Structure 1
Amino acid sequence: MGPTNHDRFVDVNRKLEHKVRELHGLKCLYAHAYYTEDEFWDIYDRKSYEELRTKYKAGSLPTVYDKVKVDVRSAQDVSNMSMGEWVKHTFWSTWPTSGLYGVYRAAMGRDYLLKD
C-alpha cells in the first residue's frame, strides 16, 4: 500500500526505482514502471531484447516498456474523479476485467494471428 495522493504515490515509486538502481538491483516487470523510456533502456538490455523481438517476429507487439510504463501526466488522482469517472476507473482496473476484455478483443479481431 502506498500514499493515496497520486503525486505522492508517483514520488514514492520514483524514489524506490532510484534506490533499486543505486543498489544494482532490477525492479520486477510485473509492476508499473515510472521510469522514463531512456532510464528504462539504460537499465534493461534493449539490444538483446530487440534481437529477440526480431527473431520471434514480435515487432508489431507492444514493447515490455509500453506494457509496464505509467503515463504519469494522464493518470488521475482517484480522489479528484467524478462519480462516473470513478466507476469507469474502478471497473477497468479491477482484475480480471481489462485482461478478459483484451482476450475477447484479440479473439474477435483475430489479432493473435501473425502475418508473414
Structure 2
Amino acid sequence: ESTEDEQRTMAVLHTLLQDHPLYLEPDLNLLRLARKSGIPARKVSAAINKVERKNVSQYINAWRVQQACRLLRDTDQTVSDAMLASGFQTKSNFQREFRRITGSTPLLWRQANRP
C-alpha cells in the first residue's frame, strides 16, 4: 500500500515529465530524475517501486514507449527514428520494452494504430 507521501512524489514526477520530457534524454537515470524533481533519489525510487510497481528504468521506458507510440501513429518516421527520438539508444532494448508494454512489435503496433 503506497503512502500519501509516495503518491505526492509520483504526482511531482508525473508533472515534471509531462512539462519537461526528460525521458527523451538517453542518459536519464535515477540521480538525474531526483535532482530535477528536487526529491531525494531514495524517495523517488521507493515511490516508483511502491506506486507503479516498476523499477526506475521501467518507469522511464514506459514514458519513452508512450512517445514512440505517438510518433509511430502520427508521423511517417521510421521505427529507428522513432526509437531514437523517444530516448532509446539500442534497438534491442527498445524492441524488448516496446513489446513488454504494448504486447506488440513497433511495426505491427503502427499498422494496427494508424488513423
- Same fold, TM exceeding 0.5? no
After TM superposition, the score normalised by the length of structure 1 is: 0.28
Larger of the two Rg values belongs to structure: 1
TM-score after normalising by structure 2: 0.28
User: Counting helix residues as a fraction of each chain, which structure ranks higher?
Assistant: 2
